[in-house]
Structure 1
Amino acid sequence: MSEVVQARAALGSASRWGDKEAIENARRALAAAKLAAYVEKVVAEAPPLTDEQRARVSAIVNGGEFQ
């Protein structure tokens, strides 16, 4: 079972139980799983990045600014 499917199921379960903290955590996990799946797909299709390109992408993902 994919990580996205598992995260979606966990969100459904948390929603059924009505646990607000669990719902928030499940939403975060689902967003992360979707993002990871998308990044994996893009990276698999793209040519290799330079060190500078990898640093820029890493900074974006980590929430910082690239300098």
Structure 2
Amino acid sequence: MGVPKFDSPEEEIKKWLNHIALICLSEEFQELKKELEQVYSRAQVENYALVAFEDALYTFLAQEEEFPACRSETS
């Protein structure tokens, strides 16, 4: 899906945001985020919850770029 550009049409941005929302609501994402929060908390990472969220989201987006066939259809 790629990262939207600021000059992207509104519909493309809406699709991208919907896709991100679906990722964030998935059980797999929530499990990874929770696991990362525990690890980062024990490691005393500053803002561990935010860092865990960012890393989990980046992981899912990077995985989709590497394996596009595994991507859930949101279109």
Quick one: higher RCO (CA 8 Å, sep 6+), 1 or 2?
2
- TM > 0.5 between the two? no
Q: TM-score range by the shorter chain?
A: 0.3 to 0.5
Between structures 1 and 2, the one with greater helix share: 1
- Superposition TM-score, scaled by structure 1 size: 0.38
